[in-house]
Amino acid sequence: MKVLVIGGGGKEHAIVWKLSQSRHVNRIYCCPGNAGIAEIAECIDVSPHDLDALIDFVKYEWIDLTIVGAEEPLSRGIVDSFEKEGCRILGPNRAATRVGTSRVFAKDLMRLYRIPTAEYRVFTSYLHAEDYVRLKGTPIVIKADRPTEGNGTFVSLTVEEAIDALRLIMKDRVFGDAGKRVIVEECLKGEEVSFMIFTDGKTIAPLAVSKNYKQIFDGDMGPNTEGMGAYSPVPIFTKELETVIMGKIMRLVLKAFNSEGIKYRGIFSADILINKGKPYVLELNCTFGDPEIQTVLPRLRTDLMEIALAITDERLSDIQNVIEWRQESSVCVVVSSNGYPGKYQKGAVITGLEKVKKMKDAVVFHAGTAYNNNDIVTSDRRVISVSAIGAEIKDARAKAYRAVEEIYFEGMHYRKDIGDIQ
């Protein structure tokens, strides 16, 4: 079978890498791809925003399935366009992606259907938001409506920090139109986990749970990012807690979609905070998490293509109980360009990648890389993620960092404490 993957980041590389192991797949295309993806798939010269050109390509090449990893094509309605033309595609439609593209929509949906989440208020006025922050006090969380490359979330420990965050989002518009509305949210304390599911709109199948490190610096310091690393499994996560999350969050979210007339089919993820043994949703997303998926896919035993086909054919119930995961642990370390999540430089030559290829149980997933003649160079703020498998988290962690230390480019940055748990 032929597969097309849409996107060019680390999670798309992980998807392509896993599909390349499928007994059903004999050819993989990717749009736009990156230097790492180009080693195992054919990167096509078509814009991921040109839906008509993509549909023409899919029909001409007789592509059996398209998998969308990137959020922007989903929000532009790529699934709606493909399905209208009779092209099989995995991902939520445009209406469903609002849960990932608007935090306000997601929070309002959760409140309406009594899905546990932190208390919040939405503001379009800077002055009203400032007054509310002074009234509520700190710690408090400030969020831009739409998740951004720098995440757009500020955990403020003082009133001054909160007001600075409001100014950046609403007045300076550092996140553009994402700052038209802000959420001022209660700051919950506890352990955060990433929970992802496969769903065909009727059946839910959970993926392995992981823990994502959001802050840029060691010790959870500095601004939020999409994630600087992750590990799986999570020792505090129990089967009892999974049962609660499936019943009180995931099934209620699916019920909410159905009640709103939204057909959700694809991958769904949630950042969940465990507070005094109870789960609360911090964020919802309409795609795989990054770097969570680079962390858990190496643990997946079941053929990813078989799962994808079961979702698109709405027969996930046939295989939901036979999806298998390796017992070993996985640790993923993200390597970024210096300055991330702010300004960064690109074009630095990356060395050491060939050495990592020879290492057992370690793999490099490219995110912001490109070719410059024969060199692989940095092309974005998030450059690569290195994942490793080990018997325990400490073993996987040691392998991952051993691989990271073989890699070099000018200005590279990574956290040193991923998976450093007691």
pLDDT tens for 290-321 read 999 999 999 999 999 999 999 999 999 999 98
153 shares a domain with 31:
no
pLDDT in tens, 58-75: 999 999 999 999 999 999
Question: Could you tell me the CATH number of the domain that includes residue 70?
Answer: 3.40.50.20
Reported in sequence order, the residue ranges of 125-181 that DSSP labels E, i.e. its strands, are 140-144, 153-156
Q: In this structure, are residues 373 and 381 in contact, taking their beta carbons and an 8 Å threshold?
A: no
Backbone torsion region of residue 405, taken as left when φ is above 0, otherwise alpha when ψ lies between -120 and 50, otherwise beta: alpha
Residue in 251, 264, 236, 259 with CA at minimum distance from that of residue 206: 251
In this prediction, what percent of the chain has a pLDDT beyond 90? 92
Classify residue 243 by burial, with Cβ atoms within 10 Å: 0-12, 13-18, 19+: exposed
Among 295, 322, 349, identify where a domain stops.
322
Please report whether residue 101 resides in a domain: no
Among 73, 91, 109, identify where a domain stops.
91
What is the pLDDT, as a whole number, of residue 152? 86
With a cut of 90, say whether residue 220 has pLDDT above it.
yes
Please report whether residue 286 resides in a domain: yes
Q: In this structure, are residues 91 and 28 in contact, taking their beta carbons and an 8 Å threshold?
A: no
131 shares a domain with 37:
no
Q: What is the average pLDDT value for the chain, to the nearest integer?
A: 95
Please report whether residue 297 resides in a domain: yes
What is the pLDDT, as a whole number, of residue 149? 64
- pLDDT level of residue 343 (50, 70, 90 thresholds): confident
Question: Could you tell me the CATH number of the domain that includes residue 230?
Answer: 3.30.470.20
What is the pLDDT, as a whole number, of residue 224? 87
- The DSSP secondary-structure symbol of 65 reads E
Place of tokens 């509520």: 136
Query: Phi, psi at residue 205, to the nearest 5°?
Result: -130, 115
pLDDT in tens, 179-214: 899 999 999 999 999 999 999 999 999 999 999 999
372 shares a domain with 388:
yes
57 shares a domain with 40:
yes
In this prediction, what percent of the chain has a pLDDT beyond 70? 99
Please report whether residue 391 resides in a domain: yes
Taking residues 246-267, report their average pLDDT.
94
218 shares a domain with 301:
yes
Please report whether residue 66 resides in a domain: yes
Backbone torsion region of residue 86, taken as left when φ is above 0, otherwise alpha when ψ lies between -120 and 50, otherwise beta: left
Query: Phi, psi at residue 321, to the nearest 5°?
Result: -90, 0
Among 140, 158, 186, identify where a domain stops.
186
Q: In this structure, are residues 375 and 344 in contact, taking their beta carbons and an 8 Å threshold?
A: no
**Count of CA atoms in the C-beta half-sphere (13 A) of 323:** 23
62 Cβ neighbours under 8 A, 6+ residues apart: 2
397 shares a domain with 357:
yes
What is the pLDDT, as a whole number, of residue 178? 87
Query: Phi, psi at residue 309, to the nearest 5°?
Result: -65, -35
Taking residues 236-243, report their average pLDDT.
93
315 shares a domain with 224:
yes
With a cut of 80, say whether residue 257 has pLDDT above it.
yes
Q: In this structure, are residues 377 and 348 in contact, taking their beta carbons and an 8 Å threshold?
A: yes
User: 3-class DSSP state for residue 302?
Assistant: coil
Tokens of 99: 């849960």
Domain that residue 182 falls in: 119-186
pLDDT in tens, 25-52: 999 999 999 999 999 999 999 999 999 9
357 shares a domain with 314:
no
Please report whether residue 107 resides in a domain: no
Q: In this structure, are residues 70 and 33 in contact, taking their beta carbons and an 8 Å threshold?
A: no
How far is the C-alpha of 4 from the C-alpha of 53, rounded, in Å? 13
Please report whether residue 301 resides in a domain: yes
Tokens of 201: 């709109």
pLDDT in tens, 88-102: 999 999 999 999 999
How far is the C-alpha of 248 from the C-alpha of 39, rounded, in Å? 42
How far is the C-alpha of 129 from the C-alpha of 144, rounded, in Å? 12
> How many domains in the chain?
4
Classify residue 321 by burial, with Cβ atoms within 10 Å: 0-12, 13-18, 19+: exposed
Question: Could you tell me the CATH number of the domain that includes residue 182?
Answer: 3.30.1490.20
315 shares a domain with 200:
yes
With a cut of 90, say whether residue 151 has pLDDT above it.
no
32 shares a domain with 126:
no
What is the pLDDT, as a whole number, of residue 148? 73
**Count of CA atoms in the C-beta half-sphere (13 A) of 209:** 21
Residues β-bridged to residue 117: 281
Of 315 and 148, more confident: 315
Place of tokens 């994808």: 308
What is the pLDDT, as a whole number, of residue 150? 60
Please report which helix (H) or strand (E) contains residue 7, including its range. strand 2-7
Question: Could you tell me the CATH number of the domain that includes residue 399?
Answer: 3.90.600.10
375 Cβ neighbours under 8 A, 6+ residues apart: 349, 350
Q: In Å, what is the CA distance from 253 to each residue of 137, 191, 212?
A: 31, 22, 22
Please report whether residue 103 resides in a domain: no
297 shares a domain with 341:
no
196 shares a domain with 317:
yes
List the alpha helices (DSSP H) in 313-420. Answer: 353-357, 393-404
